[in-house]
């Protein structure tokens, strides 16, 4: 009998017995659990290797990495979690386990936007785990190039920030690129109050970007009503200035504080916890449905009355909800427009196919940029 197939029968812990257990007993139990976890992880790695071998003797990780499958696994982890660890913690542990199992032959190579962006790098680890090779690149364009030329297996690029809006240079790359979107990552970004001393009583001046001030207004009014708010061009600039004064603080992300050697006075201090950056995972092919997918389309239309209506109506008719639309001037003709549209569902699903068929006569071109699992946790 394999250890992996008999696990669902265990009963809940006996709380009363536990409360009276001594340290040695608790540790003995934990040791038994660890032995068992290790056995299961090793067994999982063997099965994963067999999945790889089924793809042929020369298969690399990229040949059997399946984002829709990983997404399903993680969704099940969240569905059956009833504590005590948080969903995010368990998702992270399972990402690492899958990442390690996948990397047995050669790890995935992931290109990402290097500068300023510890956030892009964070997104790489968040999505792929730590058993990958990260390739830091100098521009979003280079990330596309390296994936297209197969120097990288996948790429990660930022596409949208809930405070700054869409990152146009990313969207524009899709106008001409043959790459496909095969995943998304959402990174919640927290604001912290950072200073050299770490003591709130020293603070007479706070530097930050105006948007960050706006996000932390209530907190500042309550905790630092008399401090002067000095708007600067970026939160990194705020952190840089705060580094040079004893009586100043910055509102910035943790990574800015890390780079400039500041201490956290308080945080997270944003009034609403919805500050998120969205990243896209770039690959070279479309993957099957995970069951919880999003489809990104690029629709080129001529600039004529009713064009937008004709593009959108089919999705409404088929009950497909749109999470985002953005118009961009197309590059191929003076009077053309391009719409970037995100729709719930996968292109393989009948409703989506039907909507796309109905839309076709009204568009000069419809490009499916990708159908990919919705971000988890």
Site for a copy of itself in 214-273 (CB under 8 A): 240, 243, 255, 257-264
Are 372 and 299 spatial neighbours (Cβ–Cβ below 8 Å)? no
Residue 134 three-state SS: strand
Report, in Å, the least distance between residue 51 CB and a copy of itself.
Answer: 5
Phi-psi region of 345 (alpha: psi -120 to 50; beta: other; left: phi over 0): left
Cβ atoms < 10 Å from Cβ of 200: 14
Closer CB to a copy of itself, 44 or 284, in the complex:
44
Check residue 24 for interaction with a copy of itself (CB under 8 A).
no
Closer CB to a copy of itself, 107 or 314, in the complex:
107
Check residue 6 for interaction with a copy of itself (CB under 8 A).
yes
Spatial separation of the C-alpha atoms in residues 105 and 94, rounded to whole Å: 19
Report, in Å, the least distance between residue 246 CB and a copy of itself.
Answer: 12
> H or E segment at 213?
helix 210-215
Report, in Å, the least distance between residue 301 CB and a copy of itself.
Answer: 37
Nearest alpha-carbon partner for 66 in 53, 56, 52 = 52
Q: Is the dihedral of CA 80, 85, 89, 94 positive or negative?
A: negative
Which of residues 67, 123, 131, 268 is near a copy of itself by CB under 8 A? Answer: 131
Cβ atoms < 10 Å from Cβ of 5: 8
Are 252 and 239 spatial neighbours (Cβ–Cβ below 8 Å)? yes
Closer CB to a copy of itself, 257 or 330, in the complex:
257
Which of residues 16, 19, 272, 334 is near a copy of itself by CB under 8 A? Answer: 19
Report, in Å, the least distance between residue 117 CB and a copy of itself.
Answer: 7
- What is the footprint of a copy of itself within residues 84-123 (CB under 8 A)? 84-85, 89-90, 92-94, 96-97, 100-101, 103-104, 113-118, 121
Spatial separation of the C-alpha atoms in residues 57 and 22, rounded to whole Å: 52
Closer CB to a copy of itself, 32 or 273, in the complex:
32
**Cα→Cα distances 125→92, 93, 110, 187, Å:** 9, 12, 10, 11
- What is the footprint of a copy of itself within residues 28-57 (CB under 8 A)? 29-51, 53-54
Report, in Å, the least distance between residue 294 CB and a copy of itself.
Answer: 23
């Amino acid at each position: 009998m394999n250890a992996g197939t008999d696990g669902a029968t265990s009963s809940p812990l006996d709380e009363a017995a536990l409360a009276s257990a001594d340290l040695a007993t608790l540790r003995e139990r934990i040791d038994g659990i660890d032995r068992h976890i290790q056995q299961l992880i090793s067994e999982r790695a063997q099965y994963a290797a067999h999945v790889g071998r089924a793809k042929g003797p020369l298969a690399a990780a990229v040949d059997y990495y399946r984002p829709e499958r990983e997404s399903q696994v993680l969704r099940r982890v969240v569905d059956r979690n009833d504590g005590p660890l948080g969903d995010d913690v368990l998702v992270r542990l399972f990402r690492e386990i899958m990442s390690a199992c996948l990397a047995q032959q050669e790890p995935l190579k992931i290109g990402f936007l290097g500068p300023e962006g510890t956030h892009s790098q964070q997104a790489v680890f968040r999505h792929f785990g730590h058993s990958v090779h990260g390739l830091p690149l100098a521009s979003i364009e280079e990330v596309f190039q390296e994936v297209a030329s197969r120097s990288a297996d996948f790429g990660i690029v930022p596409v949208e920030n809930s405070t700054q809006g869409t990152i146009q240079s990313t969207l524009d790359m899709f106008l001409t690129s043959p790459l496909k979107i095969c995943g998304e990552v959402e990174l919640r970004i927290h604001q912290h109050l950072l200073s050299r001393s770490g003591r709130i009583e020293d603070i007479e001046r706070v530097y930050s970007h105006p948007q960050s001030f706006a996000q932390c207004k209530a907190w500042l009014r309550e905790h630092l009503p008399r401090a002067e708010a000095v708007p600067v061009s970026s939160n990194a600039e705020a952190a840089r200035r705060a580094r040079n004064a004893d009586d100043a603080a910055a509102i910035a992300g943790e990574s800015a504080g890390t780079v400039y050697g500041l201490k956290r006075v308080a945080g997270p201090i944003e009034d609403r916890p919805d500050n998120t950056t969205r990243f896209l995972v770039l690959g070279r092919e479309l993957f099957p449905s995970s069951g919880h997918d999003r489809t990104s389309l690029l629709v080129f239309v001529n600039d004529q009355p009713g064009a937008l209506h004709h593009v959108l109506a089919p999705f409404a008719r088929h009950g497909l909800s749109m999470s985002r639309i953005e118009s961009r001037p197309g590059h191929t003709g003076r009077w053309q427009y391009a719409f970037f549209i995100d729709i719930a569902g996968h292109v393989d699903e009948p409703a989506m196919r039907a909507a796309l068929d109905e839309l076709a006569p009204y568009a000069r071109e419809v490009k499916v940029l990708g159908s990919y699992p919705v971000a988890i946790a």
